[in-house]
């Protein structure tokens, strides 16, 4: 699939996004496991964030293993075994990780639980290395970011229902304070998840996904095209830091939210799941909004979809929580906050750098409101960070690999390595919270968004020096 392709290949894209669903399901479910493990194993807030550390550090370890194997065989691993085989292998590794939940639950072992999550994420690392550039490659480069945004929207359908399903599996339909029993109840849903991993691996092997898609080629300057490594591109180096920080602020905002709601609002752990679900649904809302250009190049239809898509996604959240028999009354007001997202999306005009800058500034504002208010106002301010994180991954990823040409796969691996920020920043915020309080600890997120805003501003001049201008690309795509 090359840059001359004029339409998204939906027959190949749809099977691909199933793996995006799983990444979201498991990642968001961790936010329910964290407070449960904290009580069951008598952990501090910083120690409880080891769940995030184990999960996200596996992405770095996986990327390092990937690069070492590539060096040993003298060829890029994914290019050698094929993209479909890479996805299938990653799913099998993740399935093996779910098997550890059974003995871990029976033995009441926190380290073994962490080991299971680590292996699951190790498989995700290989899947991410393959799937992200592949999503960009399955259509024209002008809508690559929007296609990755759409895949992220499917990811966040998983993040929306993950906390609800895992919470139900742990606590049941009624409240329970028996956390030891809850630990044991974790093993069945994760075994089912392992079976699902294996079924999807078979589905992808039977799909029409290309084993060796053509590299995305960009029009770059002659000097840039002679570079021998992805690390020689400044947009990638700064983008690696941006991915580290972005995943960090996205994950830490959610993973520390249960502790904030328990301490400051007095809510029970089992009653927090709908709010965690809304946080991750917010990413789905934003990503469905940002993906409308992947569906049509008709401007009038895009304007309509920009209002329909976010409320359709919000409707999915409401329906899922209605099925789970949660009171929806507290959530209706959130429909007004979504209007801020729509306005920001329109203002970005589809330019990933401009979108990154605007959404990062809004993220800073949301966190500051959450830190300086009380009650449900602060909760919704923190939850709205999900809206403003929603399109940052595809923006950063697209900007960071733009112009890399034959080095795109290598650059992708370096970016996936930086997902470890989800664990490091979460642990950092948890540790800061132990010192200055959980609400004030969100200053960590403010600093993160400040760097992301800087990257959105700086990368424009870097890419223009290499002959890449996204405003021209976008205008040429309509």
Checking if the pLDDT of 414 tops 60, the result is yes
**191: burial class by Cβ within 10 Å (0-12, 13-18, 19+)?**
middle
pLDDT score of 478? 27
CA dist 52 to 65, 279, 291, Å?
Answer: 20, 17, 28
**Measured distance CA(419)–CA(422) in Å, rounded:** 6
- Spell out the CATH class of 10-476: mainly alpha
Q: What mean pLDDT is predicted for residues 267-276?
A: 81
pLDDT score of 142? 62
Closest listed residue to residue 19, CA positions, set 98, 97, 125, 102: 125
Mean of the per-residue pLDDT values of the chain: 83
HSE on the CB side for 173, CA within 13 Å?
3
Q: What mean pLDDT is predicted for residues 194-211?
A: 85
Q: What mean pLDDT is predicted for residues 186-214?
A: 82
**Measured distance CA(129)–CA(63) in Å, rounded:** 8
Span of 9-18, 272-281, 346-355, 372-381 with lowest mean pLDDT: 9-18
HSE on the CB side for 136, CA within 13 Å?
29
**Measured distance CA(217)–CA(220) in Å, rounded:** 9
CA dist 430 to 43, 45, 385, Å?
Answer: 11, 5, 18
Which residues lie closer than 8 Å to 269 by C-beta, 6 or more apart? 35, 36, 39, 258, 262
pLDDT score of 176? 44
Checking if the pLDDT of 4 tops 50, the result is no
Are the C-beta atoms of 127 and 26 separated by less than 8 Å?
no
**Measured distance CA(68)–CA(262) in Å, rounded:** 44
pLDDT score of 245? 96
> What pTM did the predictor assign?
0.78
pLDDT score of 163? 78
Give the SS3 label for residue 19.
helix
pLDDT score of 467? 83
pLDDT level of residue 182 (50, 70, 90 thresholds): low
pLDDT score of 10? 72
Are the C-beta atoms of 250 and 426 separated by less than 8 Å?
no
pLDDT level of residue 216 (50, 70, 90 thresholds): very low
Q: Structural domain boundaries of the chain? A: 10-476
Give the SS3 label for residue 306.
helix
pLDDT score of 473? 53
Checking if the pLDDT of 318 tops 60, the result is yes
Other CB atoms closer than 10 Å to residue 461's CB: what's the count? Answer: 10
Q: Which residue has the higher pLDDT, 146 or 119?
A: 119
**Measured distance CA(8)–CA(18) in Å, rounded:** 17
pLDDT score of 225? 52
Query: According to the per-residue pLDDT averaged within each range, which of 165-174, 248-257, 404-413, 414-423 is highest?
Result: 248-257
pLDDT score of 95? 93
Of the chain, the percentage scoring pLDDT greater than 90 comes to 34
**Measured distance CA(419)–CA(438) in Å, rounded:** 23
Q: What mean pLDDT is predicted for residues 65-90?
A: 86
Checking if the pLDDT of 219 tops 70, the result is no
pLDDT level of residue 221 (50, 70, 90 thresholds): very low
Q: What mean pLDDT is predicted for residues 376-386?
A: 95
Residues 281, 380, 38, 420: is their CA dihedral positive or negative? Answer: positive
């Amino acid at each position: 699939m090359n840059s001359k392709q004029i339409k998204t290949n939906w027959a190949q894209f749809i099977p691909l996004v199933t793996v995006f669903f799983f990444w979201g399901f498991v990642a968001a479910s961790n936010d329910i496991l964290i407070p449960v493990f904290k009580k069951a194993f008598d952990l501090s807030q910083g120690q409880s964030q080891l769940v995030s550390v184990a999960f996200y550090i596996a992405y770095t370890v996986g990327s390092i293993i990937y690069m070492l194997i590539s060096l040993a065989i003298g060829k890029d691993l994914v290019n050698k075994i094929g993209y479909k085989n890479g996805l299938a292998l990653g799913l099998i590794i993740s399935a093996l990780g779910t098997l550890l939940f059974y003995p871990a639950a029976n033995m009441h072992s926190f380290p073994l639980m962490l080991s299971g999550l680590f292996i699951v994420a190790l498989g995700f690392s290989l899947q991410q290395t393959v799937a992200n550039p592949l999503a960009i490659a399955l259509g024209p480069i002008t809508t690559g970011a929007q296609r990755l945004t759409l895949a992220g929207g499917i990811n966040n359908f998983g993040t929306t229902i993950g906390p609800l399903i895992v919470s139900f599996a742990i606590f049941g339909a009624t409240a329970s304070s028996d956390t030891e029993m809850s630990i044991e109840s974790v093993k069945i849903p994760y075994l089912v998840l392992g079976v699902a991993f294996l079924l999807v691996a078979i589905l992808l092997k039977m799909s029409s996904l290309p084993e060796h898609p053509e590299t995305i080629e960009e029009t770059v300057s002659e000097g840039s095209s002679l570079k021998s490594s992805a690390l020689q591109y400044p947009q990638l180096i700064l983008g690696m830091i941006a991915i580290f920080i972005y995943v960090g602020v996205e994950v830490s905002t959610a993973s520390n939210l249960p502790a904030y709601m328990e301490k400051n609002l007095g809510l029970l752990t089992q009653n927090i799941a709908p709010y965690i679900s809304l946080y991750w649904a917010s990413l789905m809302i934003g990503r469905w909004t940002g993906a409308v250009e992947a569906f049509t190049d008709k401007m009038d239809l895009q304007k309509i979809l920009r209002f329909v898509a976010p409320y359709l996604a919000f409707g999915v959240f409401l329906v899922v929580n209605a099925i789970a028999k949660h009171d929806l009354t507290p959530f209706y007001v959130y429909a007004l906050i979504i209007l801020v997202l729509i306005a920001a999306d329109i203002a970005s005009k589809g330019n990933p750098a401009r979108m990154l800058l605007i959404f990062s500034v809004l993220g800073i504002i949301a966190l500051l409101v959450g830190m300086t208010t009380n009650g449900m106002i602060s909760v919704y301010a923190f939850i709205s960070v999900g809206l403003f994180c929603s399109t940052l991954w595809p923006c950063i990823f697209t900007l960071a690999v733009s112009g890399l040409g034959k080095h795109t796969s290598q650059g992708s691996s370096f970016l996936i390595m930086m997902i470890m920020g989800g664990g490091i920043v979460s642990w950092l915020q948890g540790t800061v919270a132990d010192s200055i309080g959980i609400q004030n600890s969100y200053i960590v997120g403010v600093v993160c968004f400040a760097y992301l805003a800087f990257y959105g501003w700086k990368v424009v001049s870097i890419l223009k020096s290499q002959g890449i201008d996204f405003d021209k690309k976008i205008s040429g795509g309509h």
